[in-house]
Structure 1
Amino acid sequence: MSRKIVITGVATAALLSLAACGGADDSDSAGGAVTLRYAMWDEVQKPPIEQSIREFEKAHPAIKVRIELNNWNDYWSKLQTQLAGRSAPDVFWDHVSYFPKFSKEGVLTDLAPLIAQDKVDTSIYDPKLAEGWKVDGKVYGLPKDWDTIGLFYSTKALKEAGLTPADLDGLTWNPADGGTFVKTLQKLTVDENGKHADEAGFDPKKVKQYGLAMQAPTGQQDWWNFALQNGCTLQDKPWGRWTIDQPACVQAVQFVQDLRLKYHVAVPATVTNPPNGPSLDQVVGRGEAAAAMDGSWMLRAFDTALPGGAFGVADLPAGPVGKGSVYNGLTEAVYAGTKHPKEAWELLKWLTSERHQKAVAEAGAVWPGIPSLNDVFADAWKAKGVDVTGFKKAAEGTTMGYPLTEAADVYNVKALDIFNQVWLGQLSPQDAAQKITTEANAAIK
């Protein structure tokens, strides 16, 4: 945007100043009612959200809400175009990887004065989620949900290997010999002759089922978690410089490479490498892998691939310094250029309320941003015969937020290329760590 929209002063002044800033087609009014545009990308969440919004509209007859649904990739390209053209939706989902850019561009409403004005109780949200959306005393969103990484597993594959879900609890790994985590994956890895990876005669070139599948363009679903468990910090400070070239980080990258190329217990990167590889739910669903490291947002996909309670979720293994998982969430954000700031704020308060988030959690659509409702979500999946408490254990333990950086776009592009070379054995973990650190830091202003 050529001109930044700055939100300052007390709540009333903020709302009045915003009213003068909207673009030509931000939203519309008809018959005395204001129509707000609300942007999202997850079709799974749409039904319970639509039902809740109908309740909101009954309680606020002067406000109508029009949902704009686009898939993940289209959502961000369209939103950024709309923001540049000053025609963005009034309320929209924001993600931590885009938040640094948006906060610098001034396209997000500072909610702090509005929270104070209406005495909104923000203590109901997980502070680990809420704090990441604050910059210099400004609040640019309220928690909508959370996600973390867990170990999806096929109950059939576990049973065939003589294992139970309980055997996945308490697993550990280390850079030297892989620990009990690798030993368990060896039991779950079977070649075409029925030999397991821990048995004599196992043929790593003719594997029928691997123990593990991984796929992460940035590192969020694989090596970032092992990095945390190994004492690695990806940045020197929030919004700071990347420090991936430190030994603890390099060891984590090496371990992920070893799972594929040394131990032969993980699906080769030639199969799963993004952006063209199959999704991990498909790999596990077809029996090509017994388990997968993936995000909680993939629950519905795994439920489709392994219906009837044929899968579960365990917590990740512990590394040399303990357990840990990448943990973050989305916020509901108000566009700083909305023509209807008061109404947009009312909608945001509803979307981040206990009433709304409970309704969405009861549908099993997403883990709620209000932790007191976590069991509501877990119970919804338990009723379907699926244990998802592995995610809850991860979220309540040691976690690492998604790295906040102005160089997110550069990192994401570089990481996809550089780490794919590592997983294919074309680049050493040490060289990759140095390369990504140098190139990503060069993009920080």
Structure 2
Amino acid sequence: MRVSRQVERRTLLKAAGASLASLGVAAAGCGGGSGSSSGGAVTIRYAWWGADDRAKRINETIDLFEKKHPKIKVKTDFQPYEDFWKKFNTQAAGGNPPDVIQNAVTFLRKYGGRNVLMDLKPQVQSGELSTEGFRSGLEKFAEIDGKLLGLPVASNSMAYIIDEKVYEKAGVTPEFGWTWDDWLAGMERIRSRTGVAGETGPHSIMYYYDLVLRQKGKAFFTEDGLGFSKSDLETEWAEAVKRIKSGLYTDPKKVEQIKPKSATAAGLSAGEFTWDNFTVRYDSEGKSSYGIAPIPTTDGSKTGQYLGSLMLSGTARTKHPKEVATFINFMVHDPEVGRIMGYDRGVLATTKQFEAFEPTDKVSKQISEYEKQIAEKGVLETITPHPAGADVIEAAFLRVATEVSLDKASPGEAVEKFFSEAETAFTANS
């Protein structure tokens, strides 16, 4: 589903901000859209981002769809992540977006607020689209301001990926309910017993900081702004600088040098926060054994976690809302689609697809078991939909935090810069 926490964040980082302001009312309402092919068959356009392997799987699912729905043809387009959003911005601004797109929570309010995305609720009410059978409340993931702007195809959650051999050598055993104090003590023990930094350095990851805030009753975002203060963030970044200097966090210069490879896979750290479905990259990049550890907590119980998801969204300008609904419904519910896609985009979102796919490899089994565990533990909460401009703000967070890591700005200077850029982003997208 994603390549790496740094590369994927950077991609999430740059993409849809610059040209979106041009969308405005030009993207609203009904109008252009897909035409019909010969023989009376309707043609819809479906666009997504990803690599060749995902394209191969998706094309296989489309072949299956067209066999079962011969009067609906699907024209496909896929791009690398950043190129996808640049192209989509251009298409939407010109009034000719694809009928269906792969989407992410960062962009829901941005495009939903400009009426680029289709409200799927009428299709649910007409019976053309089902919101039944989703795992852990995922059917509500894309509900924004009373509209249903997408349906999830898969889920993931933040996790802590560890080098199991390093943890075993240091005698540290993460367990559900361990606290941040336990985590810090574990890093210190790892550093002293193995010489490996305990952590890559999570302070540039927006979703890690969101967990920290949610455990304290706050969140990174509210519905229309930031959910924390300057002093909150300065405290976080000042502590990160101390841990870098003490060797508990990996030398940031080394982290930059090995990108896009993960620091944990490279043996530079014992663990790092990332999405659980990224686990697949560690076995392919590294030479150790890697596992998914629970998120540390403030009080021993509240982790602040939620299920994130990629989703399928229709666009408001489509001439074929019924066919769009039929396509999305098939892609999120059909068991054979689940067997074909596997965990390419995360753990399958609907029960039918989840049960249809039986993972055989170690990594997929780990991911599946982890999501079962956090659901059973009852720690999952509801994500706050990101406000418009969230993608630009996430980019700023990563960039400014990296400047702190590399000693190019003090924590106080960096916080002022970040809040200023966030205010600009909110203003530009209001």
Match of 1:316 in 2: 295
1:324–1:394: 8 Å Cα contact kept in structure 2?
A: no
State the secondary structure of the residue aligned to 1:106: coil
Task: Confirm whether residue 234 of structure 1 aligns to residue 241 of structure 2.
Answer: no
Is the 1:213–1:291 Cα contact (8 Å) retained in structure 2? Answer: yes
Gap change, CA 1:76 and 1:402, over 3 Å in 2: farther
Aligned to 1:279: 260
Q: Give ranges in structure 2 of 5+ residues lacking alignment.
A: 1-22
1:26-65 paired onto structure 2 within 5 Å:
26=34, 29-43=37-51, 44-65=53-74
Measured against aligned partners, the alpha-carbon deviations of 1:252-289 in whole angstroms (never above 9, x if no partner) come to 44444443234x2221222335xx861353x2233222
> What TM-score, normalized to structure 2?
0.80
Could you tell me whether the CA contact under 8 Å between 1:5 and 1:106 is conserved in 2? yes
2:199 maps to 1:212: yes
Number of the residue aligned with 2:228: 244
Matched, 1:180 2:182: yes
CA contact (8 A) 2:27 2:115 kept: yes
Q: Mapping of 1:398-413 within 5 angstroms? A: 398-399=380-381, 401=383, 404-413=386-395
Aligned to 1:437: 419
Greater relative CO, 1 or 2 (CA 8 Å, sep 6+)? 2
Judging changes above 3 Å, is the alpha-carbon distance between structure 1 residues 97 and 362 closer, same or farther for their aligned structure 2 residues? closer
CA contact (8 A) 1:361 1:373 kept: no
Deviation, 1:347, is 0.7
CA distance in 2, matches of 1:58, 1:373: 19
- Structure 1: any 5+ residue segments left out of the alignment? 8-17, 174-178, 190-194, 198-206
Q: Which residue of 2 aligns with 1:22?
A: 32
2:249 pairs with 1:266: yes
Per the TM alignment, residue 380 of structure 1 is displaced from its structure 2 partner at its CA by: 4.2
Please tell me the residue identity of whatever aligns with 2:198: G
Distance between the aligned counterparts of 2:36 and 2:203, measured in 1? 40
Cα contact 1:45–1:366 (8 A) shared by 2: no
1:331 and 2:276 correspond: no
Q: Is the 8 A contact 1:316 1:394 kept in 2?
A: no
**What are the equivalent positions in structure 2 for 1:23-422 lying under 5 Å apart?**
23=33, 26=34, 29-43=37-51, 44-118=53-127, 120-126=129-135, 129-163=138-172, 166-173=173-180, 179-189=181-191, 196=193, 209-214=196-201, 219-220=206-207, 222-235=208-221, 237-238=222-223, 240-245=224-229, 250-262=234-246, 264-272=247-255, 278-279=259-260, 281=262, 283-306=263-286, 310-320=289-299, 322-325=302-305, 327-355=307-335, 358-360=338-340, 362=342, 366-370=346-350, 379-382=359-362, 386=366, 389-394=369-374, 397-399=379-381, 401=383, 404-422=386-404
Counterpart-to-counterpart distance in 1, 2:321 and 2:259: 42
Which has the larger share of helix?
A: 2
- Corresponding pairs, count: 401
- TM-score w.r.t. length of structure 1: 0.77
- State the distance in 2 between where 1:310 and 1:284 align: 11
1:65 deviation in Å? 2.2
RMSD: 3.3
Residues 279 and 363 in structure 2, CA contact (< 8 A), matched pair in contact too = no
Deviates more, 1:426-435 or 1:97-106: 426-435
Partner residue in 2 for 1:203: none
2-side partners of 1:261 and 1:374: how far apart?
A: 44
The one-letter code matched in structure 2 to 1:172 is T
Task: Write the distance in 1 (CA, Å) between the matches of 2:384 and 2:104.
Answer: 10
1:423 alignment partner in structure 2:
405
Counterpart residue identity of residue 196, structure 1? R
Quote the residue 1:192 is aligned against: none
Q: Percent identical across equivalent pairs?
A: 22
- CA change 1:349–1:22 in 2 (3 A) is same
Task: Report the CA distance shift for 1:291/1:410 in structure 2 as closer, same or farther (over 3 A).
Answer: closer
Return the offset for 1:117: 0.5
Distance 1:224 1:376, change over 3 A: farther
For residues 46 and 188 of structure 1, do their structure 2 counterparts lie closer, same or farther at Cα, with a shift above 3 Å needed? farther
Distance 1:383 1:147 in 2: 14
- Mapped to 1, the partners of 2:174 and 2:118 lie a distance apart of 48
Asked if 2 retains the 8 angstrom alpha-carbon contact of 1:382 and 1:388, the reply is no
Q: Distance in 1 between matches of 2:106 and 2:270?
A: 30
Letter of the 1:341 partner, please give it.
P
State the Cα distance separating 1:93 from its structure 2 match: 0.7
Displacement of 1:383: 7.9
1:121–1:328: structure 2 CA closer, same or farther, 3 Å change rule? Answer: same
The structure that has the greater radius of gyration is 1
